[in-house]
Amino acid sequence: MKKIYYLFALLLLTGCKESAEIKEDSAPTFGIVIHGGAGTLLRSEMTAEMDAAYRKILTQAIQVGYSILKQGGTSQEAVEKTIHVMEDSPLFNAGKGAVLTADETIELDASFMNGETLDAGAIAGVKHVKNPISAAIAVMEKSPHVMLSGAGADQFAQLHGLEWVPSEYFFTERRINSLKRVKEAELNRQSLIEQSKDPFIVQQRMGTVGCVALDQHGNLAAGTSTGGMTNKKWNRIGDAPIIGAGTYANNATCAISATGWGEFFIRSVVAHDISALMEYKGLGIEQAAYQVIHEKVGALGGDGGIIGIDSKGNIAMEMNTTGMYRAHINSQGELTVKIYKDE
Ligand code: ASP
């Protein structure tokens, strides 16, 4: 009798274990990755206070998106709300704290793509929308177009009730000083390539923000927001608002947001190229990202990085610079925050 009792207890225990495993396996995978710009990031150039401030805001931002995803919210909402935190922080080159143009004005670019529908929206050269990522989403949802620019884009955003601020809202002391420094370098006939080797200039230039997410419904989304490059002229537009270059999302492959020297990212069609390598060649996200950043962007002489997530929750955080502000949270809630490449 005792034997039968033990056997029964054993069977019960094994059964419980199995059902617990099945439950764990069938839990939907989701995840979120963010960046706050890539460039020449050296420990010697960073104070302990700055290091801590960046890690703190990256953590705050990603937790906003993570809690949306955890509660079953959409990847679109997670990307938008996470980017708002970084756009509102003066530490990044997006929204408040964006870099200045040669005319000492602000011109903001942003884009968003929905991986389920392949709908996309972008704005370039706006001066008044407080949160450019929301303007990009509004273009996607409320206009028949994909990309609006300049005063028309600002007008469109205002028409659709997005928060409007005077340009002065975006200005910070730090960016005013870095514009002076970059202009001095230009007066000294330092070429863009030479400037890109000056850690101070590169660090001032960087700070574009981006977010990619996979929600519990299996949908991917990607968004990128930036002030572009310090001292930009002639209404220059970089890769950030260009779908396929700075931003791309497709449920069949991955969601990507890029940061770096925009001209090279446009020429390498970075975000779509990573997706295409996955779709047509069957590469994994890490391998695809490595190939595009090192063998395409790097080979052309450009620098920067990407963040990405695929439809299974695998991620990539690839760069050919010494650092990229970045963070990730997986389905289990495990948080990773990094700045330097060798962390
Ligand atoms: N990619 C941005 C641009 O070229 C700048 C950056 O990410 O640092 O406008």
Residue-wise pLDDT tens digits, 237-273: 999 999 999 999 999 999 999 999 999 999 999 999 9
- Please tell me the distance between residue 264's alpha carbon and the centre of ligand 1 in angstroms: 10
Nearest CA to ligand 1 atom 4: 262
Domains and CATH numbers, the chain: 30-340 (3.60.20.30)
Question: Residue 22: its pLDDT value, please?
Answer: 39
Residue 13: Cβ-neighbour burial (10 angstroms; 0-12, 13-18, 19+)? exposed
Nearest to 276 by CA among 233, 308, 230, 303: 308
Single pTM value for the model: 0.90
Q: Is 262 in the pocket of ligand 1 (CB under 6 A)?
A: yes
**Residues 220-238: tens digit of each pLDDT:** 999 999 999 999 999 999 9
Percent of the chain with pLDDT over 90: 80
- Please tell me the distance between residue 7's alpha carbon and the centre of ligand 1 in angstroms: 65
Catalytic residues: 208
Question: Residue 196: its pLDDT value, please?
Answer: 64
pLDDT at 217 over 90: yes
Question: Residue 104: its pLDDT value, please?
Answer: 96
Nearest to 133 by CA among 221, 237, 230: 221
158 Cβ neighbours under 8 A, 6+ residues apart: 128, 129, 164
Pocket test for ligand 1, best of 226, 236, 325 (most atoms within 8 A of CB): 226
Q: What is the mean pLDDT of the chain?
A: 90
Question: Residue 7: its pLDDT value, please?
Answer: 44
276 Cβ neighbours under 8 A, 6+ residues apart: none
Contact indicator for 89, 207 with CB cutoff of 8 Å = no
Q: Predicted confidence band at 183 (pLDDT cuts at 50, 70, 90)?
A: confident
**Residues 70-103: tens digit of each pLDDT:** 999 999 999 999 999 999 999 999 999 999 999 9
Residue 43 burial (CB count, 10 A): 11
- Output 188 or 107, whichever has higher pLDDT: 107
Torsion, CA 296, CA 299, CA 301, CA 306, rounded to 10: 40
The span from the CA of 70 to the CA of 279, in Å, is 28
Residue 282, sorted as left (phi over 0), alpha (psi -120 to 50) or beta, turns out to be left
Q: Is 208 in the pocket of ligand 1 (CB under 6 A)?
A: yes
Nearest to 162 by CA among 140, 136, 130: 130
The span from the CA of 298 to the CA of 191, in Å, is 18
pLDDT at 163 over 70: yes
Q: Predicted confidence band at 199 (pLDDT cuts at 50, 70, 90)?
A: low
Amino acid letter for position 98: A
Q: Is 260 in the pocket of ligand 1 (CB under 6 A)?
A: yes
pLDDT at 148 over 90: yes
Q: Is 37 in the pocket of ligand 1 (CB under 6 A)?
A: yes
Question: Residue 1: its pLDDT value, please?
Answer: 46
Question: Residue 26: its pLDDT value, please?
Answer: 66
DSSP state, residue 118: -
Q: Is 256 helix (H, G, I), strand (E, B) or coil?
A: strand
pLDDT at 8 over 50: no
> Tokens in use for 44?
């010697």
Region 307-331 average pLDDT: 97
Q: Is 239 in the pocket of ligand 1 (CB under 6 A)?
A: yes
Question: Residue 203: its pLDDT value, please?
Answer: 64
Q: Predicted confidence band at 27 (pLDDT cuts at 50, 70, 90)?
A: confident
The span from the CA of 37 to the CA of 161, in Å, is 29
Nearest atom, ligand 1, residue 236 CA: 9
Question: Residue 250: its pLDDT value, please?
Answer: 98
Nearest CA to ligand 1 atom 6: 260
